[in-house]
Amino acid sequence: MTIREIAQLCEIECTSMDENVISGINTLKDAQKGEISFLSDSKYEKDLSTTNASAVLLPSNKSYLLPKNVVALISDEPYLMVAKLSKYFSKPIQNSSIKPIIGVNTTVYPTAHIENGAKIGSDCIIMSGVYVGTDVVIGDNVILYPNVCVYRDCVIGSNVMIHAGTVVGSDGFGYAHTKKGEHIKLYQNGNVVIEDDVEIGANTTIDCAVFGSTLIKHGTKIDNLIQIGHNCVVGEHCIMVSQSGLAGSTTLGRNVVMGGQSATAGHLNIAAFTTLAARSGVTKSITEAGVYSGFPLMEHKLWLKLQAKLAKILQS
């Protein structure tokens, strides 16, 4: 798709009528020559002047910030335009003709489905009903219990155990919204990377990144029925207890513990060695390790004090 065709699709006036071919969408920071990018949040303005993108969708009053060789595609709704475009750059479910490579001493049950382009290491057990998508890479000594599903392009390290029914790499929940109130899907082109020595429970869901990777670092243990949103980073040796959830783009430092049914909002940073009690709800980043409770969140000591005060009010 050329820049000109993109401009036409987005109903954007484009003086350059550029015939250069665009091969993908990416963030301002990560875009390479031949990719298109966009500015939808002012906090990324700083990346405009250094972007390597060939074209950028952005409002007219920001176009002056772009390098001279980058085509400005002017739109009041750049995020909506990117969503509309994303469909054309989304990867198909199957597009490899390379037969899967399966390591020595690896068992694949007959009803598992391994797509072309996948590589599975040695000493693995891929149980019944498992799906391993196109170009997935799996290390050694991995157990995927029945009906685990790994979407295309995901990467799983060694000594990983994923329990039944868990989904790795499903689409992140990302939409642009039209003025009429419709939601236009932002096709998710990233993946999930799971490092070594991770265990994941049953019926948990980990969404792939919009661009780049959702990352589960070395040694982390994740329980059942947990939601991890797109572009999250879960640090080394974290513990996430059942029914907890991370909204998109939140980062946990190493050795964070999240109690049952706790959750965080999106785009937060949680300091290493933080403990979030069961049911706690985090709406702001945590810069200092400690034990936190409640919703809104507070130090656990304060939460206990608040409950004591409420008990007194109740008796009054």
DSSP state of 175: E
Asked whether the beta carbons of 28 and 53 are under 8 A apart, the reply is yes
Q: Is 128 in the site for a copy of itself (CB under 8 A)?
A: yes
Q: Is 123 in the site for a copy of itself (CB under 8 A)?
A: no
Cα 71 to Cα 22, 62, 97, 155, 225: the distances in Å are 12, 12, 35, 34, 45
The whole-angstrom separation of Cα 228 and Cα 43 is 24
Q: Which is nearer to a copy of itself, 5 or 196 (CB)?
A: 196
**Residue tagged active-site, from 177, 218, 230, 237:** 230
Residues in binding contact with a copy of itself, number by CB under 8 A? 71
Q: Apex CA 151: angle with CA 245 and CA 149, to 5°?
A: 75
CB of 128 to a copy of itself, least distance (A): 4
| Positions 197 through 226 that interact with a copy of itself (CB under 8 A) | 199, 201-205, 207, 219, 221, 223-225
DSSP state of 45: G
Q: Residue 236 phi/psi, 5° resolution? A: -70, 140
Q: Which is nearer to a copy of itself, 23 or 111 (CB)?
A: 111
| Positions 228 through 267 that interact with a copy of itself (CB under 8 A) | 229, 237, 239, 241-243, 245, 247, 254-255, 260-261, 263, 265
Q: Which spans in the chain are helix H?
A: 3-9, 78-89, 300-315
Question: What Rg do the C-alpha atoms of the chain give, in angstroms?
Answer: 22
The answer to whether residue 230 is catalytic is: yes
Q: Is 301 in the site for a copy of itself (CB under 8 A)?
A: no
What are the b/e assignments for 89-108, b being 16+ CB within 10 Å? Answer: bbeeeeeeeeebebbeebeb
Q: Apex CA 149: angle with CA 148 and CA 151, to 5°?
A: 155
| Positions 134 through 163 that interact with a copy of itself (CB under 8 A) | 143, 145-147, 149, 151, 161, 163
CB of 4 to a copy of itself, least distance (A): 27
CB of 292 to a copy of itself, least distance (A): 14
Asked whether the beta carbons of 7 and 73 are under 8 A apart, the reply is yes
Q: Is 181 in the site for a copy of itself (CB under 8 A)?
A: yes
Q: Is 173 in the site for a copy of itself (CB under 8 A)?
A: yes
| Positions 51 through 110 that interact with a copy of itself (CB under 8 A) | 93, 109-110
Q: Is 5 in the site for a copy of itself (CB under 8 A)?
A: no
CB of 180 to a copy of itself, least distance (A): 8
CB of 153 to a copy of itself, least distance (A): 15
Supply the residues annotated as catalytic: 230
